Structure 1
Amino acid sequence: MSEKENFLTIKENGSGELIIKKSIFIASIARTNSVEEANAFIQEISKKYRDATHNTFAYTIGLNDEQVKKCDNGEPSGTAGIPELKALQLMKLKNVTVVVTRYFGGIKLGAGGLIRAYSNSVTNAVEKVGVIKRVLQQELLFSVPYNRFDEVDHYLKTNDVFIADTEYGVDVKIHIFLDDDDQEKTKTDLTNLLSGQIKFTKGQKRYNEIPVKDNNFHEQ
């Protein structure tokens, strides 16, 4: 996987349930970073709900949807797996697998009804578990005297800078993570705040997870 792009994925594994015309739709959703992980999750959920009428699924792996798969599992062709995959793609979610289990309630929904039911089941599950943006950030380390810590801490929190760690020794050593685009401004602001009495050391680069608060996930 490329480490040059930020991307959206689900906050945690979970599920959501909808009842539509007496049929029960259970959407189980998980983060999966490989086809092997996706297949293992599909098998796990299919076994859990082995008595269901259908266990349909879709997954997308890779930042550019390099590996995708969908399955109707006995539903009319194109009425389950495809709408599930399109729902994930519309929300721009990456590395996610969803299994939508249906317990038939005796009332046929028709092709259009099935497409809406399976698509809405995925969206409902995503809304329940939440979405995060995985952002590749650079760690910066610097130390400040105790008598300047409060104003530095105030600046960092006011500007939503992710503080990863704070060590208390002779001075206060602070570990922060920044997007590439924010590094120079933050360094300049802190240098000005401390009248030049600051030295930055680069640490590791890593993905951090930032909650997406807006439900319009596909607009992020």
Structure 2
Amino acid sequence: MPLHIVDYVPGARGCPTVLKGTVNRDWAWDGFEADIHALDIPDGYVFTAKHQVLDFDFWGLNLMASDAFLAVCRSFDLPVRAIPVEVVQSTGRRSAKSYFYLLWGAPVSVFDWERSEYTLAQDAPAGDPEDRDITDLESVARFVVDEAKVPAAAAFMSLDAGRNLLCTDAFADACREAGLVGVGFRELTGFTRTDFWG
């Protein structure tokens, strides 16, 4: 089954290259929470932007998404938790779209360790692979998907592909049909990563 990385695509009106602004409080979660529905998360998140207009439907870096993107997720019965965030533009007006921080639960590894070509991140002083619960890939020359590890969900967070959101053809098609702004897709098998020194 082909998988795609869900990308933010800047350039359209309301889709800045860099999202600038401040949030009124720290997040009450981290990116690796498994039981996202058990978290006690307060209401009242406000993101004050340094942009006159924001109109994107998905911002991958901090997983902020519009109600339209969330509607696509809901149509696939994805167990995503949506935390409302009020977006105030630099004009002082609220954004036309409603936004949410999306929590996806524990990321999933779909990396085929036998057939892929990669280098593990090294512990600098010892020169050994880093000893962690999560294996870090220093570089990836060839990403092969282990089909047996792919969950049934139409979209899920990836552990090995840069902590990106991954999705199926059906999810990508639904996003396109919904006319989402600032959302693009690229084949996961084309994912590569170079080490720090390039």
TM-score tier, shorter chain, comes to under 0.3
Higher helix share goes to which structure?
1
Q: Which has the higher contact order (CA 8 A, sep 6+)?
A: 2
Q: TM-score, normalised by structure 2?
A: 0.27
Rg (Cα) greater in structure: 1
